[in-house]
Structure 1
Amino acid sequence: MTSNHIKEMARNYFAENGYDGTSMAQIADDVGIKKQSIYTHFKGKDELFLEVCKDVFAEELSFVLNFIDSNKTRPIENFLFDFLLQYKERYEKNNSTKFWLRISFFPPAHLYEHVMKYVYEYLDKLEELLVPVIDKSISEGEISSKIGAELATTAFLGVLDGVFVEMLYGGSERLQKRLDASWYLYWRGLSND
């Protein structure tokens, strides 16, 4: 239990303050243990950070799988737009998502390779999962047949990246403006209208 509690507190600190702004002493205080006791569970800050990365990666991927499974019968326009909205909501309410986005854009320099392995694995899996959903919508006539599923998916991931950037930098109002404009142009490019 203590190991999981340590990771939970560490995730919260890393999400808010980044790797460099987080101390093992802060984590230990919040867990209610001495700093030295953390080393019973983790060799050091790097190992703790990477364990949190692994857990959050699995959590974010689980969100994607559950979202796709729960929404796969919806019209593609609603499916994709709601996916963006769900990420906006997750970022506002979920420290795992905050952590995930922060480390995706600002990984600690000395752990860059380790972190980016998770980030690229997530992005590749997300693309792999979305292509068949979009391909199905093309075959059903929801999206223009002139656009391939891979191209439409890659463009959608570009919209998602823009939303992620505004989550980190822009605040709620700028985020909504970016989301609305990006979605409007993306959907007009895909639709048969």
Structure 2
Amino acid sequence: MTSDKIKQKAQTLFTSHGYDAASLALIANEVGIKKQSIYTHFKSKEELFLQIFTESVEHELSFVKSYLERNKSLSLHDILNMFLNEYLNRYEKNANTRFFLKTSFFPPFRLEKNVKLGSEKFVNELELIILSLFQYHSTVLNSDISPETASLAYLTMLDGLFVELLYGIPERLTKRKTESWNVYWQGISMNKGELR
């Protein structure tokens, strides 16, 4: 379908060139159609971009839910640690994740309000999903740590790793992920001696 092809090519160009530099003419050229043909499917570049971003939020939430469903039989330690690894690796392998993270952290100035609403939706739903995971595995937690505290600290660590992913270098990201994970797990876990 032409609209899907437009969105796919536009997403790639928005990610690599940014919103302003990815013109409709460039997108049309990549799709192999005339610029005017894009208007058959989308009223404007803004509408195209926001539709792609809205769908990217849903794709990322779907990834989180499916990851947890696939791994629900694992220990809390393994679910959380593997999630960090999988999400950070996903940035390199998945065009949607690259677009979503870059757009969330570097929104186009004119569309910043709309992007923040979508990012906020993602963050709110992710918080609820991770909180419910900690509530389910609450017996693993140190008695001084509530499921809410553990989930917020985990998501703060994930946010910090996303910043390093976008701004830093791979070696530093790996080191920060390993060290912050070890300190985090020691802080929340009932078994203080278990680094795993």
In the superposition, the TM-score normalised over structure 2's length comes to 0.94
Alpha-carbon separation, structure 1, partners of 2:12 and 2:165: 17
Alpha-carbon separation, structure 2, partners of 1:40 and 1:30: 17
Alpha-carbon separation, structure 2, partners of 1:17 and 1:144: 46
Cα offsets for 1:127-160 (capped at 9, x unmatched): 1011121122223xx2212101111111001110
Cα offsets for 1:57-107 (capped at 9, x unmatched): 111010011011111221111100111111111101111100000011111
Query: 1:104-115, aligned counterparts within 5 Å?
Result: 104-115=104-115
Matched-pair contact (CA < 8 Å) for 1:138–1:145: no
Residue 40 of structure 1, CA deviation: 1.1
Alignment pair present for 1:187 and 2:185: yes
Alpha-carbon separation, structure 2, partners of 1:159 and 1:32: 42
Alignment pair present for 1:124 and 2:124: yes
Letter matched to residue 171 of structure 1:
I
Letter matched to residue 85 of structure 1:
N
Q: Which runs of 5+ in 2 are unaligned?
A: none
Q: Which runs of 5+ in 1 are unaligned?
A: none
Alignment pair present for 1:78 and 2:78: yes
Alpha-carbon separation, structure 1, partners of 2:86 and 2:37: 37
Query: 1:63-102, aligned counterparts within 5 Å?
Result: 63-102=63-102
Give the length in aligned residue pairs.
191
Identity %: 45
Residue 14 of structure 1, CA deviation: 1.2
Alpha-carbon separation, structure 1, partners of 2:125 and 2:25: 36
In the superposition, the TM-score normalised over structure 1's length comes to 0.95
Runs of 4+ aligned residues of structure 1 deviating over 4 Å after TM superposition are none
Matched-pair contact (CA < 8 Å) for 1:81–1:183: yes
Matched-pair contact (CA < 8 Å) for 1:18–1:102: no
